[in-house]
Structure 1
Amino acid sequence: MGMSVAEAVRTLDDEAAKKMKRLIERGVKIPPQPRVLEELRKHLQRKEFDIRLLSRVINQDAGITAMLFKVVTSAAYKQHQPFETVEQILHAVGVRQTFNLVQAISLAAQGDLKKNPQVYEAFWARSQAVAQLAMLIADERIAVCNIFPDQAYLAGVFHDCGVLLLMQRFSSYCAEMHLGEPGRWVELAEEDSKFSADHCVVGYIVARHWHLPDFICDAIRYHHDIRELGMHASRTMVAILQLAVDIYYRDQRVANPEWEQVKDEVLPELGMSDDGLLEFVDVIIERFHAGQH
């Protein structure tokens, strides 16, 4: 089982824990894990890596299975394609790696699309694009960063899930945070003053509750604040996320106000310099679009 929400809140510092408790009292709902995930985790905890059994569990959920096939058409898995069955994916990508992808996809299956379909669709389109870009950056920089594409994808899908939950709870959140406008995203100070909320902390609680690896939970908590993180995997993960978001904006031809503030932390963390950046961005965008067809 995942960590309970109350246990997850206890892992926060006092200030953040108080804020999170207030949000839960105000009706922010932390989504439960789908049954497929719980079943898969039980098998993995018992070290049961029977590929046929695991693929049967995944195949129970047609929506998750369809999305899994979509994700593994990414250029990050080029050497293993094409995939015909879930068993093939488990064999080629690896059991734990596939589990990470299924966790990410399961989150994307949450969310009440009835209320505000355009906004939700736009949110998931952005999340999926950032997650795919993060996956490709991890794949290209694997030797330097030691973060795997499945881990980067997982962090990419979850890093802004707090925004989704706040959107579901506060009807004015989208408008107040300018979420429909190109190149606008949540401003942390503004979010705090208007909603007494922090989507990074909300996302962290979801990640803890869903039992994501600790370093990914920490990356979600500090994805707008790389300077808070020392030299370890969560810092590298935030660097990958920040570069993925910047490439997403470049691809959309929209300015990213945050990049100038973080690039001096991000680039060295990924073993890159300003000089090589444009060429690297071109490679990632090309691979990203190659995987979209």
Structure 2
Amino acid sequence: MNIDKGLLASLEDDEARKLTQLMDQGIRIPPQPRVLTELARLVTSGVDDVRRLAATIAEDPGISALLFKAVQSPVFRAHQPFTSVVRILQVVGVSQTTNLVRAIALSAGSAGGKGGQQMPALEAFWARSRAVAQIAMLIAEDRVSVCNIFPDQAYLAGVFHDCGVAVLMQRFPDYCKALRLDEPGHWPNLAEEDQRFSADHSVVGFLVARHWKLPEFVCDAIRYHHDFSRLEDHSARTMIAILQLAIHIYALNSALPSPDWAANRGEVADELGIHDEALAEFIDVILERYQEH
């Protein structure tokens, strides 16, 4: 895949250099599956017949199955159970369902890897990403009147936020080995791993997000999700706050370290409009709702 020159121009010099080197080494940006491109084409052209849209989604049984799993979230509890893709489109909405399908298609399509040895690590990686996405969706639902970030957008960002890791794993077998993602109770310091491989998983993830035509503010949130200070756009900063809190809650639930939390806790609370003294209680509420799922 050739790098979009406009994309390179939007990166800092060091980021552009690293990305060019990685592309020269053969990293592969996962293509959008045909079902997703056809669904996006229909939606963009104004097709609103939910039966036709549902039939397109149903052409991929794997994506359909994961879509049903995604809408089991407490976010949609008032409308459960969902008995058909048509019903999901009617209740969740066409554009919102398309966002869910886009996120699901990435994780479903990137789970194969090269060779069987990577399968457990990739499966564990995407399971974590979907869990973070589910938590992000709960946070967005609760704070939507304050933050104007919707659950489907948060789910999309949650699945995509570390997708650059999966791309690097599929190209560099030692990256997969070093991360030990298939070991229960282990999650690495990705900044250290990026240094080891002269890579930047956030910039690679940004490239994937741009290639998959995610909203610009979601792309920016993926690029800077480890560093609030480099971003001024309010929507992207709010999405980063949702991601940071979702990652922290996932870590609490999994008894894992949360290395970014101490540095970002205050900004997360500010962006989400939560008083510092109320943050712990809010975390408990979201964690309880997630554990009910």
TM-score, with structure 2 as normaliser: 0.93
Q: Which residue of 1 aligns with 2:283?
A: 281
Q: Which residue of 2 aligns with 1:185?
A: 188
Number of residue pairs matched? 288
1:137-216 map, 5 Å: 137-177=139-179, 179=181, 180=183, 182-188=185-191, 190-216=192-218
Q: Which residue of 2 aligns with 1:81?
A: 80
Q: Please, which runs of 5 or more residues in structure 1 have no aligned partner?
A: none
After the TM superposition, which segments of 4 or more aligned residues of structure 1 sit over 6 Å from their partners? none
Query: After alignment, is 205-214 or 254-263 more displaced?
Result: 254-263
Whole-angstrom CA distance in 2 between matches of 1:10 and 1:54: 36
Whole-angstrom CA distance in 1 between matches of 2:43 and 2:35: 12
Instruction: Look up the equivalent residue of 2:215 and give its one-letter code.
Output: P
Question: Does the C-alpha gap of structure 1 residues 226 and 107 become closer, same or farther in structure 2, counting only changes over 3 Å?
Answer: same
DSSP 3-state at the match of 2:81 = coil
Q: Please, which runs of 5 or more residues in structure 2 have no aligned partner?
A: none
Contact 2:131–2:250 (CA under 8 A) maintained in structure 1: yes
Question: Does the C-alpha gap of structure 1 residues 5 and 65 become closer, same or farther in structure 2, counting only changes over 3 Å?
Answer: farther
1:1-293 map, 5 Å: 5-7=3-5, 8-111=7-110, 112-113=112-113, 114-177=116-179, 179=181, 180=183, 182-188=185-191, 190-291=192-293
Deviation at 1:265, TM superposition (A): 1.1
Instruction: Look up the equivalent residue of 1:271 and give its one-letter code.
Output: G
Deviation at 1:30, TM superposition (A): 0.3
Question: Does the C-alpha gap of structure 1 residues 261 and 148 become closer, same or farther in structure 2, counting only changes over 3 Å?
Answer: same
Q: Deviations over 1:202-227 (max 9, x none)?
A: 00000000000000000000000111
Q: Deviations over 1:7-38 (max 9, x none)?
A: 54443233212211110110110011000111
Whole-angstrom CA distance in 1 between matches of 2:35 and 2:262: 41
Q: More relative contact order in 1 or in 2 (CA 8 Å, sep 6+)?
A: 1
Deviation at 1:64, TM superposition (A): 0.4
Instruction: Look up the equivalent residue of 1:151 and give its one-letter code.
Output: Q
DSSP 3-state at the match of 1:28 = coil
Whole-angstrom CA distance in 2 between matches of 1:4 and 1:46: 28
Contact 1:162–1:199 (CA under 8 A) maintained in structure 2: yes
Whole-angstrom CA distance in 1 between matches of 2:128 and 2:46: 35
Whole-angstrom CA distance in 1 between matches of 2:176 and 2:60: 31
Contact 2:163–2:201 (CA under 8 A) maintained in structure 1: yes
Deviation at 1:46, TM superposition (A): 1.0
Instruction: Look up the equivalent residue of 1:211 and give its one-letter code.
Output: K
DSSP 3-state at the match of 1:283 = helix
Instruction: Look up the equivalent residue of 1:187 and give its one-letter code.
Output: L
Contact 2:162–2:201 (CA under 8 A) maintained in structure 1: yes
Whole-angstrom CA distance in 2 between matches of 1:156 and 1:193: 24
TM-score, with structure 1 as normaliser: 0.93
Query: After alignment, is 67-76 or 104-113 more displaced?
Result: 104-113
